[in-house]
Amino acid sequence: MSPQTFTRQYIKGEWRTGASEQTVENINPYTHHTIASIPSANEEDLDDAYKAAQAAQKEWRKVTPGQKQTYFDSLQKIVADRKDEIIDWLVKESGSTLIKAELEYQTAYGILREAASFPTRMDGQILPSNIPGKENRIYRSPKGVIGVIGPWNFPFHLAMRSVAPAIATGNTVVVKPASSTPATAGLLLAELFEEAGFPAGVLNVVVGRGSEIGDAFVTHPIPELISFTGSTEVGSHIGELAGKHLKDTALELGGNNAMLVLDDADIDRAVEAASFGKFLHQGQICIALNRIIVHESVHDKFVSALKQKVEGLQAGDPAEKETIVGPLINQEAADRIQKDMNDSIEQGAVKLVGGEETSNLLQPALLTNVTNDMPIAKNEIFGPVVAVIAVANEEEAIQVANDSPHGLSGSVFTTDVHRGVEVAKQIDTGMIHVNDQSVNDEGHVAFGGEKQSGLGRFGGSWAIDKFTTVKTIGVMNGYREFPF
């Protein structure tokens, strides 16, 4: 991506300077160097972007399925050819380690490949009628214009997760990327779609602060649906604004995900899974493990093995191959996590290892003697701190896991798979994995949460349902007789 393009908005197929007097500073979270200073979009830019998307959608919806898939074939090739560049941007813009950046790339590519099948999966139905000579035809069509608010933690994947399915089903899109990752959550996607030849206006990107264009992005009269991935607090506000204007939403929000380690679990396997599910991307993942709930009979063995594992995790420069834990997104995040950790220790938690801080680089930490009401268990950590809670039995493990307003993902470890499934059924969550950790996202599988973890589902046929609408057309074969 050229430096000139990287500092501009992308509206109606053109790269242009934002009209706001404010700027968005794109800062490398590890080096703290400024990558770019981007003149922000204002409400006039936003209005132009939505109008461009609305105009383009009238033609894009008419493009045949085969033609749409040709565009996506080209896009997949370009994304594959530019893999190294995408990974480099993820490392320097979001502090992704090389392991995380590779995983994010592969997951995003999987979403892209799945979305490429959507144009030929826009099916309808013909249903019978109780009225003689009549049939009911159900037609599926795109919703229109979709507004996508992209997050900073898995910016490329989580933006692609909405953008690609929305466009593949005949919609056009306006993206507002997170201010911390304007390239990987928006501008880089715009350049990739542009290179693939998508018509002007099909994808538009406006970079601006939430304080200036955030509410207007949701309340603007053109978008039919707002897709947001981020915190529960912000998602609740977006849902409130959208509901007031009768707009649909797709909300994937915060999590407080639990791994249940039952008394018959393979401890070594559980520790390996727990480490990955907790420390990938420094724990800054909505589906990362927040609490590990362990049966008391295997608690000490599990904690001992996990402590040894945590001690071996290297923290530092995310661009180095050996680094497992990179920087937090900013100093504010580090300060918040330290406060929750210190407050929990004051309430009786015991820190066995880690927690040392150098600026926003936090050494991976392990806390035991944690109870569910402590801040480190009650709040979404979003950082490299693992909290272990001991329980007396399976019933208590389920109760503790469910004692949270969130319900996004989770995990159950047991050598009895049937037992694991039966326990998993009792956890109030949108997703849960038996003998695996909580960080899983496959393009063809339903993804989403319960309770305060969001509304709706992404992935596969569920994404098609979310980004389309249906119309019933009743058809008489002949004419109907009326009583008056």
Residues 243 and 291 in one domain: no
Instruction: Please give the mean pLDDT across all residues of the chain.
Output: 97
Residues 154 and 280 in one domain: no
Single-letter amino acid code for the residue at 217: F
pLDDT given for residue 387 in this prediction: 97
What share of the chain in percent tops pLDDT 70?
A: 99
Q: State the sign of the Cα–Cα–Cα–Cα dihedral 253, 171, 94, 114.
A: positive
In this prediction, residues 257-263 reach a mean pLDDT of 98
Which residue carries 């197929």 as its tokens?
13
Q: Other C-beta atoms within 10 Å of 399: how many?
A: 14
- What are the pLDDT digits (tens) for 265-319? 999 999 999 999 999 999 999 999 999 999 999 999 999 999 999 999 999 999 9
Single-letter amino acid code for the residue at 57: Q
Q: Which of 104, 252, 380, 394 is catalytic?
A: 252
Residue 136 covered by a domain: yes
Residue 479 covered by a domain: no
Residues 50 and 190 in one domain: yes
d(CA 109, CA 73): 12
- What are the pLDDT digits (tens) for 174-218? 999 999 999 999 999 999 999 999 999 999 999 999 899 999 999
Q: How many domains are there within the chain?
A: 2
Token pair listed for 273? 């899974």
> What CATH number is given to the structural domain containing 294?
3.40.309.10
In this prediction, residues 455-484 reach a mean pLDDT of 96
**By residue range, what is the domain housing residue 199?**
3-253+453-472
Which residue carries 């037609």 as its tokens?
139
Residue 41 covered by a domain: yes
In this prediction, residues 130-148 reach a mean pLDDT of 97
Residue 483 covered by a domain: no
Residues 175 and 98 in one domain: yes
For residue 229, give the nearest of 45, 97, 402, 408 by alpha carbon: 408
Residue 480 covered by a domain: no
Whole-number CA gyration radius for the chain: 24
Residue 327 covered by a domain: yes
Token pair listed for 124? 């309808």
Residues 118 and 203 in one domain: yes
pLDDT given for residue 436 in this prediction: 98
pLDDT given for residue 4 in this prediction: 52
In this prediction, residues 29-54 reach a mean pLDDT of 97
Give the confidence band of 1 by pLDDT, cuts at 50, 70, 90. Answer: very low
Residues 167 and 291 in one domain: no
CB 156 within 8 A of CB 229: no
Residue 351, SS3 per DSSP: strand
pLDDT given for residue 357 in this prediction: 93
Q: How many helices (H) and strands (E) does the chain have?
A: 16, 24
DSSP per residue over 142-170, as a string? E-SEEEEE--SSSHHHHHHHHHHHHHHTT
Q: Where are the alpha helices (DSSP H) in 369-431?
A: 375-378, 394-402, 417-425
Single-letter amino acid code for the residue at 465: D
Which residue carries 């400024």 as its tokens?
34
- What are the pLDDT digits (tens) for 225-244? 999 999 999 999 999 999 99
Residues 249 and 314 in one domain: no
Residues 265 and 231 in one domain: no
pLDDT given for residue 96 in this prediction: 98
Q: State the sign of the Cα–Cα–Cα–Cα dihedral 303, 309, 314, 318.
A: negative
Residues 243 and 295 in one domain: no
Distances (CA, A) of 482 to 123, 131, 132, 135: 33, 11, 12, 17
Res 355 pLDDT > 90: yes
CA contacts within 13 A on the Cβ side of 210 = 13
- What are the pLDDT digits (tens) for 371-389? 999 999 999 999 999 999 9
Give the confidence band of 451 by pLDDT, cuts at 50, 70, 90. Answer: very high
**CA-based angle 44:48:52, to the nearest 5?**
170
In this prediction, residues 21-48 reach a mean pLDDT of 97
> Would you call 252 a catalytic residue per the annotation?
yes
Res 467 pLDDT > 80: yes
Token pair listed for 36? 């770019």
Give the confidence band of 5 by pLDDT, cuts at 50, 70, 90. Answer: low
Residues 57 and 137 in one domain: yes
> What CATH number is given to the structural domain containing 206?
3.40.605.10
Residue 444 covered by a domain: no
Report the length, in residues, of the chain.
Answer: 484
Residues 20 and 94 in one domain: yes
Give the confidence band of 65 by pLDDT, cuts at 50, 70, 90. Answer: very high
pTM for the full predicted model: 0.96
**Beta partners for residue 34, in sequence order:** 27
Helix 83-94, helix 155-168: angle, nearest 10: 130
d(CA 343, CA 349): 9
Residue 304 covered by a domain: yes
Token pair listed for 119? 């144009």
Residues 212 and 275 in one domain: no
- What are the pLDDT digits (tens) for 89-103? 999 999 999 999 999
pLDDT given for residue 459 in this prediction: 96
Token pair listed for 279? 């420390």
